[in-house]
């Protein structure tokens, strides 16, 4: 079980949005690379990065900030936002990114995702962002008629490393993760699922460690870490204790 700290990039700065609204962005750090190093120093093992501008533009828009992050941390990094072609994927992986996250293109062109998994095994994740149970695309600005599980099942057996599932209605408002929908998705597919959107407190971390959530790969935390609602040392100690119990 992994707790992924999140860095969302807007205008080269580390921000958090409320309900996916670019007009409701709070700047938490003007130096994303320093933030990445800070998360590593706190003991986190992975880093989740989103190029928010890129998600809306359809191409990488915070490339310099991402490259600075990759140089600043030894932790594996997964990146989403504006990655829409095989060339984009190859370029980022060649720079040391561990995983690319494909969102809009997974809806628009699922065959590209399958091809990417074949070319870059273990390095491709799918981001499924849902609003009212339906998949949203183009940086959450546009809704589709596609259901979450319907989309996820298109990639069964393709070699997708993980599905990052975000409930937009909870993102950035500290309402708690939508465990019902997240676990329903995890039960519906064999692909590991990472919970995102709304993680609010250590109670969510404890919930993540319950037996019925063990199928998850982990959860992403943003605002709760930045606001100090989750103590990193305490959260990581809970996860470490859970791992020790599993291997005992």
Q: Is 8 a catalytic residue?
A: yes
Ordered domains of the chain (ranges, CATH): 1-245 (3.20.20.70)
The total number of residues shown for the chain amounts to 248
Crossing angle for the helix pair 86-94 and 110-119, to the nearest 10 degrees: 40
Of 51, 53, 129, 167, which is the active-site residue? 129
Each residue of 91-113: pLDDT tens digit? 999 999 999 999 889 988 999 99
Each residue of 14-64: pLDDT tens digit? 897 765 566 777 889 899 999 999 999 999 999 999 999 998 888 889 999
Q: Is 129 a catalytic residue?
A: yes
Q: What is the pLDDT of residue 139?
A: 47
pTM (two decimals): 0.91
């Amino acid at each position: 079980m992994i707790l992924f700290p999140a860095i969302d990039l807007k205008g080269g700065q580390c921000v958090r949005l409320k309900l996916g609204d670019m007009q409701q962005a709070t700047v938490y750090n003007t130096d994303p690379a320093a933030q990445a190093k800070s998360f590593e120093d706190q003991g986190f093992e992975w880093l989740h990065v989103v190029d928010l501008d890129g998600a809306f533009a359809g191409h990488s828009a915070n490339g310099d900030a991402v490259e600075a992050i990759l140089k600043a941390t030894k932790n594996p990094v997964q990146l989403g936002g504006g990655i829409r072609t095989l060339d984009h994927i190859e370029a980022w992986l060649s720079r040391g990114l561990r995983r690319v996250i494909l969102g809009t293109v997974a809806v628009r062109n699922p065959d590209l995702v399958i091809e990417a998994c074949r070319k870059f095994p273990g390095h491709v994740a799918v981001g499924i962002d849902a609003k009212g149970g339906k998949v949203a695309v183009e940086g959450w600005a546009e809704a589709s008629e596609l259901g979450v599980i319907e989309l996820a099942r298109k990639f069964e057996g393709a070699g997708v490393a993980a599905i990052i599932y975000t409930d937009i209605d909870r993102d950035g408002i500290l309402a708690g993760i939508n465990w019902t929908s997240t676990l329903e998705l995890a039960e519906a597919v064999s692909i590991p699922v990472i919970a995102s959107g709304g993680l609010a407190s250590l109670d969510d971390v404890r919930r993540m460690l319950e037996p019925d959530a063990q199928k998850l790969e982990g959860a992403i935390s943003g605002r709760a870490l930045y606001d100090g609602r989750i103590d990193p040392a305490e959260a990581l100690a809970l996860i470490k204790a859970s791992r020790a119990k599993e291997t005992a």
